[in-house]
Amino acid sequence: MKKHLIYLLLLLPTLLRAAPGQPLYIVNGIRTERIADIPPEDIEQCEMLPADEETIARYGQQASNGVMLITLRYDEPARFQADSTFSGYIASRVRWDESEPAARVVLRYKVTPEGRAVVDSELESTDNRLKRRVLKAVAEAPAWRPARKNGQAVESEGVLHIQLPAGKPMPRPVELVFR
């Protein structure tokens, strides 16, 4: 089911170009202008209603291009309570000198109902030193305001991308050419 949902979201821009207008988006019961900022992993269910008489009667003339009903895994997303994004906060806490080579760490993390960020899995790591420093910064990070569903705190997840030093391009991978 989740793979089909992600596939639908990836196909959505193509479907929208083929149609004369955009559908009406309803996310957790609220009319919304954009859905591009919703991470696919946060979507629990997605349903596309056709632009038929019943749909237009129920949702009004704005539904003349159909209605996309999206249900998120939560009513309110988790919020990092520092003055920056989570990745910006973590990057600012990691000591990585400009003279060191560019390195990248990508981690999947969960925000527990208690508001703690916990690393779930490593998706990419080009330097173990950077990975250790990022893991330490995540463990010491301030608490989040957890996601909420029906008034209760629930677990949510995210992906953390850290590349340091900022602005320095990653080196090209070594390629061997045999002639």
Same domain, 106 and 40: no
Q: What pLDDT, on a 0 to 100 scale, did the predictor assign at position 66? A: 94
pLDDT, averaged per 10 consecutive residues of the chain (179 residues), comes to 53 50 91 85 91 93 93 91 90 93 96 96 96 97 94 93 91 78
Last residue of a domain, one of 72, 92, 126: 72
- Which pLDDT value is given to residue 81? 87
How many beta carbons lie within 10 A of that of residue 111, not counting itself?
25
Whether residue 91 is found in the same domain as residue 119: yes
What pLDDT, on a 0 to 100 scale, did the predictor assign at position 4?
53
User: What pLDDT is attached to residue 174?
Assistant: 72
Boundaries of domain holding 152:
79-164
Whole-number pLDDT of residue 164: 95
Q: What is the pLDDT, as a whole number, of residue 14?
A: 47
- Reference 26, options 75, 72, 69, 62; nearest CA is 69
Rounded to the nearest 10 degrees, the angle between the axes of helix 86-93 and helix 128-140 is: 120
Single pTM value for the model: 0.69
**pLDDT at residue number 16:** 45
Q: Is residue 36 part of a domain?
A: yes
* Residues β-bridged to residue 178: none
